[in-house]
Structure 1
Amino acid sequence: MTTTSTERSPVAAILALGLTQIIGYGTLYYSFSILAPDMARDLDWSSEWIFGALSVALLIGGLAAPTMGRWIDRFGAGRVMTAGSAIAAAALAACAFAPGKIAFVAALIAIETASNLVQYGGAFALLVQIRPKVAQRSITYLTLIAGFASTIFWPITTVANAHMSWQHVYLIFAAINLLVCLPIHAWLSRSVSETRKREKNEAAKHVEPSLPPSVRTPAFILMVMGFALESFVNAALLVHMVPVLSGLGLGALAVMVGTVFGPSQVLSRFINMVFGGGLSQLTLALISAVLLPAALVTLIVTAPSVPGALVFAVVFGLGSGLSSIVQGTLPLALFGSEGYGRRQGKVLSIRLVISSTAPFVLAFMMENIGVSWSLAVAAVVGAIAVLGFVAIGRLAQLLDRPHLATPRGDELAVQVVTLGQQIANRLPDFESATDAAER
């Protein structure tokens, strides 16, 4: 779906959200892998168990995501993000003051729950609620800014941890969320409220679904499968980026190579913004899915070459950056803007449930089968995600929807479509059943 609206994107909201996304991802996610060794030492845990605790927190946060999606539709994304900033600050402080393992895990669960409120899930919904017709373009602009989160916070966290304990680092991060992000989100909540008041007095401007009701269920299942497996690969590598590169023999250069990842995310979003207007969101989703396993194969084949590692970081960053866009724009293109928050809550929940195991699984595999074999497994998982998006393209072709279709895939893609349809037949109304269960 490409937007032809002449309506302007909300520039102030995008810039403000860009700052809070950098802080949100940097303090609540990217910093963890840098601080994890000190956390493990203080808690007398192995590295696997520290990342296992993170996986549990991600899992529980994912289970709460559908409820948060309903809150976004009901109360407005701005209000939900404001509450999320307060929870994030309290959770980071609680983690810093945790007296033992149980309290630490409880605080970590609160951190990951708050993440769902203040990161892309809430931010994308806020942009949709402010101006639905230009939300696709606004999401691209936002991710262009937020892509600097890892580039900024990996070095900041590394330097800070070299001069102070991880507890003090988390306390500083808590203050930033409270004093910077919370006021911004409170200000943005007014924009959503004003938009809703205006829509009561005029015809609401919604984005209509591109798929007919009869095929939305199999398309939804295939889309969620692709996003979930992509998120598994992303979660595993983003948390372990520096340890993986170090384990392949790059040593002190690992952090330097890792910082290339962030600009590459930004580059992919810039390229998409300038040249991607003629491509469907489904084609962009397929491209992003292909780049992830391609990057992993490059790293495996070239290690311990520094140029090879740089190519990996660039290609993986391109794929990850594009993926973060289409996770917001593809559901909008396929299913429309009505109920966007609720639908994104379901997508986020399934993604997080699947990807929550990624940090622990990759840490366990690296410890037992080595870094190279672990990366090979991740590459296979990424390749399966590619098949999911190819299958949606084949389904679109069968429905004579060329504006949604991806390039023709192989016969295995058709089998994946058939499997999705079989699942849909056994779950006659997947989304309605999920709503009923939640109620």
Structure 2
Amino acid sequence: MPTPTTAKPSDGDSPRGMVATWALAVAQLVSWGSIYYAFSLFVVPMETAMGWSRTATNGALSMGLLISGLAAYPMGTWIDRGHGRHVMVCGTVLAAAMLALWSQAHSLAMLFVVWAGLGVAMAATLYDPVFAVITRDFPGTFRTKITLITLVAGFASTVFIPLTQVLVDGFGWRGALLTLAAGNLAVCLPVHVFAIRRDAPREDRSGHEVASRAVNAAATRRALRTPAFWALAMCFTAYYATFAALTFHLVPLMTERRASPALILTTMAVIGPAQVLARVLWFTLGRNVRPAVIGVVITAAFPMSVVVLMIAGTSPAWLILFAIVYGGANGMMTILRGTIVQDVMWTEGYGAVSGLLSMPSNVAKGIAPITAAAIWTIGGSYVAVEWTVLLVSLISAVAFILAMRFTSERKFGGRQANFE
């Protein structure tokens, strides 16, 4: 049974479709930059002003990411049922409200409440929901549109890490949060209101809901019986756990090494362009390459970047190399994550299957930062954290190879397929 959709085959190439895609890309840049990447810039100012511990602040973040993981599946099913606009509009309003509330936090309890709300907001506004919206509304051109969105959003860290630092320096961490909240309302809210198709008409909603539920249930059952799904789940869980642990601890890690603030900001700023460059290379050179090849490159590149970081010290050249490899791997992983289900499994009930696939990886994202903080506390340095990240990232690479092997066996009756 095909996924119910109101999209027309030609809509993806229409002016309206391209404008909507560019608008959603800009909204993703703002959402990722203000909700996700800005956090690391608030850790030290909050700890200094409020006396909170590194473990406590990362605990709030971890809880938010955990909630985001648990909310991923219901968000995907609601989008499959035609409620993409409601999901992303409400998510944007919630994100702005939580950022504003965070600016008034004077206790750890309030910080945890804020990140509980931000967890739901992330599940409703970041890549997973927008990929589901694009796949549903533009089934004929979703790959190109997902790539375009990730190209623009790849600059989120490049734009928002320096911008957030400027805001913190100029207005304090509380004023910076209020500014980021206003940015969500000014940019993301109108985009999600006008760029996403209207929800299913009320008179057609009953039949639409029944059809969508049937598609989602069938797609979910099929996924849970597919070995490739479980291997991909392990791959993405291990990958995003290590990525979250490293992303949220990268600034404190380099600070511990006594890297200069300028070098830290430069290293962080390189990650975004590296993501975008990798996505451009994929878009121009890699579209005819099998997903298996791209996936092996990506999952091998991430542990390589960790090794570079471990030996980099405070060398600008090595840290820039780390940022290039690290950003490039993550840049391509985002596209792989957005298209691999359609490429090696199916498109029916994509929102539900993608949400189901995201649940363990988003839960791991939630656990990873606080786990890394605990390892740092026990060891007294980030060396043990780096070794843990390296080992778990290798698990991700092995799991992806297994996923491709299972896919080959399913498609070719047990005969192994070459990665080329």
1:336 and 2:336 equivalent? no
In structure 1, what is the equivalent of residue 64 of structure 2? Answer: 57
2:344 maps to amino acid: L
1:244 maps to amino acid: L
Taking every aligned residue pair, what percent have the same amino acid on both sides? 30
Write the mapping of 1:32-181 to structure 2, written as runs, cut at 5 A.
Answer: 32-181=39-188
What stretches of structure 2 of length at least 5 have no aligned partner? 1-8, 209-214
- The total of aligned residue pairs comes to 395
- C-alpha displacement of 1:189: 2.5
Preserved contact between residue 224 and residue 230 of structure 2 (Cα < 8 Å): no
- C-alpha displacement of 1:214: 9.3
In structure 2, what is the equivalent of residue 371 of structure 1? Answer: 382
2:398 maps to amino acid: L
Write the mapping of 1:354-365 to structure 2, written as runs, cut at 5 A.
Answer: 354-365=364-375
2:148 maps to amino acid: Y
The separation in 1 between residues aligned to 2:50 and 2:266, in whole angstroms, is: 29
1:8 to 13, 19, 22: 13
- C-alpha displacement of 1:357: 1.4
Preserved contact between residue 79 and residue 189 of structure 1 (Cα < 8 Å): no
Preserved contact between residue 376 and residue 385 of structure 2 (Cα < 8 Å): yes
Deviation string 1:269-322 (CA, Å, 9 cap, x unpaired) is 000000011122233222211111010011212323221111110000010011
Deviation string 1:99-122 (CA, Å, 9 cap, x unpaired) is 422122111110121011111011
- C-alpha displacement of 1:185: 0.2
TM-score where L is the length of structure 2: 0.87
The separation in 2 between residues aligned to 1:106 and 1:356, in whole angstroms, is: 15
Preserved contact between residue 50 and residue 106 of structure 2 (Cα < 8 Å): no
1:288 and 2:298 equivalent? yes
More divergent stretch after superposition (398-407 vs 246-255): 398-407
1:222 to 212, 231, 252: 231
- C-alpha displacement of 1:340: 1.0
1:230 maps to amino acid: Y
More divergent stretch after superposition (273-282 vs 221-230): 273-282
1:242 and 2:254 equivalent? no
Preserved contact between residue 396 and residue 404 of structure 1 (Cα < 8 Å): no
2:388 maps to amino acid: V
In structure 2, what is the equivalent of residue 187 of structure 1? Answer: 194
Distance 1:258 1:112, change over 3 A: same
More divergent stretch after superposition (79-88 vs 312-321): 79-88
Preserved contact between residue 299 and residue 312 of structure 1 (Cα < 8 Å): yes
- C-alpha displacement of 1:262: 0.5
1:352 to 362, 380, 387: 362
1:267 maps to amino acid: L
Distance 1:309 1:130, change over 3 A: same
- C-alpha displacement of 1:193: 5.7
Distance 1:383 1:183, change over 3 A: same
Write the mapping of 1:263-278 to structure 2, written as runs, cut at 5 A.
Answer: 263-278=273-288
The separation in 2 between residues aligned to 1:16 and 1:192, in whole angstroms, is: 18
The separation in 2 between residues aligned to 1:312 and 1:216, in whole angstroms, is: 38
Distance 1:94 1:81, change over 3 A: same
- C-alpha displacement of 1:96: 1.5
In structure 1, what is the equivalent of residue 241 of structure 2? Answer: 232
Preserved contact between residue 409 and residue 416 of structure 2 (Cα < 8 Å): no
Deviation string 1:136-161 (CA, Å, 9 cap, x unpaired) is 12111110110000000000011110
Distance 1:257 1:244, change over 3 A: same
Preserved contact between residue 309 and residue 322 of structure 2 (Cα < 8 Å): yes
Secondary structure of the structure 1 residue equivalent to 2:348: coil
The separation in 1 between residues aligned to 2:180 and 2:236, in whole angstroms, is: 29
Distance 1:383 1:137, change over 3 A: same
Preserved contact between residue 129 and residue 192 of structure 1 (Cα < 8 Å): no
- C-alpha displacement of 1:353: 1.0
1:274 maps to amino acid: T
Moved over 6 A (4+): none
The separation in 1 between residues aligned to 2:247 and 2:412, in whole angstroms, is: 35
Secondary structure of the structure 1 residue equivalent to 2:284: helix
The separation in 2 between residues aligned to 1:272 and 1:291, in whole angstroms, is: 15
1:303 maps to amino acid: G
In structure 1, what is the equivalent of residue 332 of structure 2? Answer: 322
The separation in 2 between residues aligned to 1:406 and 1:352, in whole angstroms, is: 31
Distance 1:190 1:116, change over 3 A: same
- C-alpha displacement of 1:389: 0.7
